[in-house]
A and B are shown apart, each in its own frame.
Chain A
Amino acid sequence: MAELSLKNVGKRFGSYEIIRNASLEVADGEFVVFVGPSGCGKSTLLRMIAGLEPITDGEISIGDTVVNNVEPADRGIAMVFQSYALYPHMTVEENLAFGLRMTGNPKADTERRVQRVADILQIKELMKRRPKQLSGGQRQRVAIGRAIVREPRVFLFDEPLSNLDAELRVQMRVEISRLHKELGTTMIYVTHDQTEAMTLANKIVVLRSGNIEQIGAPLDLYDNPANQFVAGFVGSPKMNFMSAEIVAADGENVTLTLVNQGNVQLTLPLKNPPPSIGDKVTLGVRPEHFAKAGEGIADLTIKVDVAEHLGNTSYIYANVAGGEQLIIEREESRNENIRDTLTIAIKSSHALLFDSDGNRLR
């Protein structure tokens, strides 16, 4: 077990920057998830920690040691690959024991560790099978087992669940979570699935185009996103973004008009720095944060395009004008139908404001 720290870490291929100035502290035993859209550099960052990609700037430390020039094998990490990367010609048992056998670990200890992993992951009955005789979920279990057997200081997971079907994904997610509780080892996990990130992590690192956009606890990111990208990326369904224009600002409050929502005007408290009149801004409201008509600072009347009734809740999809779709979550709306009109209210306490560059204003 060990803490991990990245200091201004960067990665360039020629003039192309893949990771820029990434700094991060991971405490011992923490479960950190790197999340971001495809191509944001999250897998590269993980591979840099593993030592499979050399870094061009900065410093990576595991425990007390700077590992920039330490071989991957000597970093005390174990990695679970997206494609499982099992040795196809070996049985499950041989796959688990291979690394230990090759490094001359005593036979009895290897057997004990393999048995323990088989117990933890409940794969005892698979030990004599080859990878091609296993299902996707079983292969993933073996891949995780191979990592556990090494008793690493840090576990790295590179999108381990993305090749599994939805049901199995949920099941394995729970299992990885249980494993983390049981082993207590530092884990770093890469995914593009924000639900996985929210459910697994103690700490989420949101990446976009090689930049760390925000680091924080899952609910912190949800409640207090640093910018419009994080606000849109975390949460499902996505946060609603409404184009707006500042029409008045007095240093205490701003008044804006929602240009694509029938020019509804609303006033929000906002002190520093006050935007200027005429500035284009974006109002962000999460689907579940709309109130009943009259209970907020402004009412919106929308036309229902699609209503999804899931039983416990419903999602109303409304595309009022200008292609600006709104999604509203309503627990008590089983009766709303397509073409109904609906009046909802925006609450000041849950309205976020972003400037035209996506920076958070309130």
Chain B
Amino acid sequence: MQLRNRAAYGFLAPYLLIFAAFWIWPIISSFMMSFQNTRINPWVFSPGANWGRLFTDPAFYNALKNTMIILVIQVPVMITLATVMAVLLNSPLLKARGLFRFAFFAPVVVGEVAYAAVFRLMFNLDFGIINKLLNSVGIASISWFSDASAAMALLIIAVTWRWAGYNTIIILAGLQSIPGDVYEAATLDRVSKLRQFIYITLPLLKPIILFCVVLSIIGSMQLFTEPMLITNRGGPGGGTETLGLFLYRQGFTSLNFGYASAIAYTMAALAILISLLNLWVGRDAK
């Protein structure tokens, strides 16, 4: 090896060591762990203990079902909302654009615990402002934390509130990269504003929207904070338990690291699979 290269690797070595110890090794180690029965001491190699259990465990299927419901409802709602907000933010008629842009992005910056606490207060059965508002228009109070469907809706509302602005900013950047004269040409072609949006804006935004969808899918697959903090550890009775929370409980409450590892790998595989499916469906027809 040349001296130059040796010196370069020398400088890289501290980082590579840390990368190997805290990144590569946990990935390998957890993969091996998923094949071990970690409920007995010492751990023994027993693939069926975790992978076999995974496919028969009703708790896993419950968490998977909850995660999928959130994914299937929340991601499309949020991306649609983000696209609409981005178009509105991009409007030349809008005043104080910078302020709105910041306001929509702000939820991402807010601390998770603080936002969870505020949501718990707002959706409180007896004194939360949401129920008060519902009552004022004649709708009965909803017990957001003890009814499984309501709790699921609450989760979806919370996640959408937190991440819609983030996606809005990404889509807005995409919108601004579409040259204005294309719209002028369409205007002269007698194409209405709505059709310009459908036939020009959306197709040109497709790669950006796909990117946001994939990011959101990965995020939803890992959803943890909201069911942990807002719906009180996946309550009521596991009604909002997600895969992320199920993993946490297996790993850090039951200390069954082998099973938690198997869940983690399943989540990653599912996220990759769904994202690839998405990219395949949204690919450019050649």
Contacts and interface: CB of A to CB of B under 8 A. Distances in A.
A188 B195 CA distance: 29
B190 A102 contact: yes
A85 B190 contact: no
Contacts of A81: 181, 184-185
Interface residues of A, number: 21
A62 to B, nearest CB: 13
B203 to A, nearest CB: 5
Contacts, number: 59
B199 A72 contact: no
Nearest to B192: A102
A130 B191 CA distance: 20
A52 B188 CA distance: 9
Contacts of B184: 52, 79, 81, 85
A72 B187 contact: yes
A50 B181 CA distance: 13
Interface string A87-129: 1110000000011001100000000000000000000000000
- Highest count of chain B CB atoms <10 Å: which of A52, A85, A86, A146: A85
A73 interface: yes
B181 A102 contact: no
A303 interface: no
Nearest to B202: A89
Interface in B179-223: 179, 181-182, 184-192, 195, 199-200, 203-204
A121 B30 CA distance: 64
Contacts of A79: 184-185, 188
Contact of A73 (B189, B203, B204): B189
Contacts of A85: 179, 181-182, 184-185
A150 interface: yes
A78 interface: yes
A89 B204 contact: yes
A182 B70 CA distance: 62
A72 B188 CA distance: 6
Contacts of A72: 187-188
B188 A102 contact: no
B220 to A, nearest CB: 29
B185 A73 contact: no
Nearest to B206: A89
Contacts of B199: 98, 102
- Band of interface residues on B: 10 to 19
Chain B interface helix/strand/loop/mixed: helix
A83 B189 contact: no
Contact of A87 (B182, B188, B195): B182
Contacts of A35: none
Nearest to A75: B188
Contacts of A89: 200, 203-204
Given A87-B200, A88-B204, A89-B204, A99 B181 contact: no
Given A52-B184, A85-B179, A87-B182, A102 B203 contact: no
A88 B186 CA distance: 12
Interface string A136-151: 0000000000100010
A99 B204 contact: no
Contact of A102 (B179, B182, B189, B204): B189
A220 B179 CA distance: 40
Contact of A99 (B179, B182, B190, B203): B190
A256 interface: no
A77 interface: yes
- Chain A CB count within 10 A is highest, among B184, B186, B190, B192, for B190
B153 to A, nearest CB: 37
A98 B204 contact: no
Contact of A50 (B179, B188, B200): B188
Residue of B179, B181, B189, B199 ringed by the most chain A CB atoms within 10 A: B189
A73 B200 contact: no
Contacts of A98: 186, 189, 191, 199
By CB atoms of chain A within 10 A, which of B182, B185, B191, B192 has the most? B185
Nearest 6 CB-CB pairings of A with B: A99-B189, A73-B190, A85-B181, A85-B185, A89-B203, A102-B191
30 contacts: A72-B187, A73-B189, A73-B190, A73-B191, A77-B188, A79-B185, A81-B184, A81-B185, A83-B179, A85-B179, A85-B181, A85-B184, A85-B185, A87-B186, A88-B182, A88-B204, A89-B200, A89-B204, A98-B186, A98-B189, A98-B191, A99-B188, A99-B189, A102-B192, A102-B195, A102-B199, A103-B189, A103-B190, A146-B185, A146-B189
